[in-house]
Structures are given as C-alpha cells and as structure tokens.
Amino acid sequence: MELLIGVLIEKTKSKRADFLVNIKDMGTVLFDVKCRKKIRFHKGFEEYFALYISELEALHNLQKSILMPVWLAFTDRDKIKENDSHDFYFVSISTIINYWVGLIDYFDKEDYEITKVLRIPNSLLTKIYDEFRKRNINFCYPYEVSMFVSQMIEKDVIEYRPQKFLRLIGE
C-alpha cells in the first residue's frame, strides 16, 4: 500500500488526506486535519493558523487529481485538554487557493514565489464546535474502529471485498 501512496504522491505531486467522509446530500469530501498552535505575526495581537505553501499545493493537486473536494480542519494544539472538548475550524482548499492567488496583487513576483508559509485569516474559517456537541460525535481509537467494522462485516451490515488497485483515467 505504501508503494501505491508513493505513486500517487510522485505522479500528482499531491498528498493524501486524513479522512474520507460521505456527507448525506453532499457527497464525499476529503478532510485533512491540522493540530497546530495558533501564532501571532509581527507585532499583532490576533493569532492565526498557518499553512505551508507546499501543503496547500499538495492538497490542491489532490483535489484536482481525483475531482473531490478537500477541506482542512484546524484545531489549536494549545487548547487541547485531556477529556475535554475543543474547537475545530474548517475551510476548503478552494477557498484558501482563491485567497492565496488574490494576494499576488499585493506582492512583487519574487516575494510571492519565495513565500513558504501562509497565514490563514480567521474570517475564512468556520468554527464547528457547537455542531460536534449537538450531534454528540465521539472520538474512538483505531482498534475500536477495526472491531466495529469487523462486527458489521460478520453481520452483513457492510459488504467487504478484498482490496483492488485503482486505475486513474489516462494512467
């Protein structure tokens, strides 16, 4: 499997997302989760999440390659407490790309091309803590997921088929 992931990354210059989620009436969405410390820039007081340009480009390439929307979910590393809920902030890769491309008018070409980190404006992020709490979503460990999936396969709730290689059109 590592070899296949390597081929995807090498051929498309993309990265894999963390989660593939099927949302009713919306379709399948890829989520990449970033647990990062919010940081201040220069002498400002407001804190922002930052994203490496290389990550942004890789996730955008993934979105273009498989024609599926990619979203980022940020959470502030400093606000995570054991056994306590914490906030998540969502933003689509398309929104960040539009913002990043729009910044070219404010930089000279050389500065734009050497920029390595992008500050994500808080106004682009959607806070979803309340939605998680209302829906009573719980987190679980990977072994729990495996156990429940195995039980659903045994009870024929879901159908399991051995892994097959995906072929991309034009490959």
Does a structural domain hold residue 167?
no
User: Can you tell me the mean pLDDT for 111-119?
Assistant: 87
Which tens digit of pLDDT belongs to each residue from 123-169?
999 987 645 544 544 555 566 666 766 776 777 766 666 666 655 55
**Host domain of residue 47:** 2-139
Alpha carbons 143 and 152: distance in angstroms, whole number = 14
24 pairs with which residues across the strands?
A: none
Does a structural domain hold residue 88?
yes
Count, in order, helices (H) and strands (E) of the chain. Answer: 6, 8
Number of domains in the chain: 1
Strands (E), 37-83: 39-40, 47-52, 70-76
- Token pair, residue 94, equals 């398309």
31 and 73 Cβ atoms separated by less than 8 Å = yes
Does a structural domain hold residue 21?
yes
pLDDT of residue 11: 53
Per-residue pLDDT band for 1 (boundaries 50, 70, 90) equals very low
Does a structural domain hold residue 148?
no
Does a structural domain hold residue 101?
yes
DSSP letter, residue 151: H
Alpha carbons 62 and 8: distance in angstroms, whole number = 9
Does a structural domain hold residue 170?
no
pLDDT of residue 13: 62
Which tens digit of pLDDT belongs to each residue from 6-41?
444 555 566 777 777 777 777 788 888 888 888 887
Q: For residue 77, give the CATH number of its domain.
A: 3.40.1350
70 pairs with which residues across the strands?
A: 30
Does a structural domain hold residue 154?
no
